[in-house]
């Protein structure tokens, strides 16, 4: 739970850096990797969704965010998705600091016209939403033959390299 806007911005920036790390590891070819033949949602779709969703979620709570146009089709370039996310993550932090105050966090609102929550809950939602989809992308990356970066610790390959280095000491 965030008591201050600064706490949110610090958490947001940390999670955004991790999400960007995952997006920057994508290749153009990997964007086509889908969940399954019957579930056509791809890494590209998820990446574009992660890049654009903060504006939708926070916009529904009244925050005005200047960012890329996410209504257009998913780009074929992984670098373009990563850059759009980079731009959006900075815009989120700037908009929150400029438009909301600490006192607002405990106020209630009806998000999307049906979800009764506080502004603090909305901030938690937007952070957890990106974590959820970031995790989905890392699984699909392995299926696409792309090694996902370690997020909260080393990935399998990074862990093996650490163990190998220790055994040579």
pLDDT one-digit tens code per residue, 90-108: 999 999 999 999 999 999 9
CATH number at 94 reads 1.20.120.450
Q: Phi/psi of residue 154, each to 5°?
A: -65, 145
**33-68 confidence digits (pLDDT tens):** 998 888 888 999 999 999 999 999 999 999 999 777
Collapsed DSSP state (helix, strand, coil) of residue 66: coil
For residue 57, count other CB atoms closer than 10 A to its CB.
19
Report CA dihedral (51, 141, 12, 89) to the nearest 10 degrees.
-30
How many domains does the chain divide into?
1
pLDDT of residue 45: 95
Confidence category of residue 5, pLDDT binned at 50, 70, 90: very high
Q: Which residues fall within 8 angstroms of residue 9, CB to CB, at 6 or more apart?
A: 93, 96, 97
Q: What is the pLDDT of residue 13?
A: 98
Domain around 139: 5-167
């Amino acid at each position: 739970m965030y008591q201050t806007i600064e706490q949110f911005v610090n958490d947001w920036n940390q999670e955004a850096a991790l999400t960007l790390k995952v997006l920057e590891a994508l290749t153009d070819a990997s964007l086509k990797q889908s969940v399954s033949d019957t579930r056509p949602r791809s890494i590209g779709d998820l990446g574009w969704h992660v890049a654009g969703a903060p504006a939708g979620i926070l916009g529904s709570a009244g925050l005005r965010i200047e960012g890329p146009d996410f209504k257009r089709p998913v780009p074929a370039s992984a670098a373009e998705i990563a850059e759009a996310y980079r731009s959006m993550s900075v815009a989120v932090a700037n908009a929150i600091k400029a438009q909301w105050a600490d006192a607002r966090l405990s106020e209630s609102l009806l998000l999307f016209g049906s979800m009764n929550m506080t502004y603090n809950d909305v901030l938690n939602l937007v952070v957890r939403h990106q974590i959820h989809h970031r995790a989905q992308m890392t699984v699909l990356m392995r299926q696409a033959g792309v090694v996902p970066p370690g997020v909260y610790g080393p990935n399998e390959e990074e862990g093996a390299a650490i163990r190998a280095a220790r055994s040579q000491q």
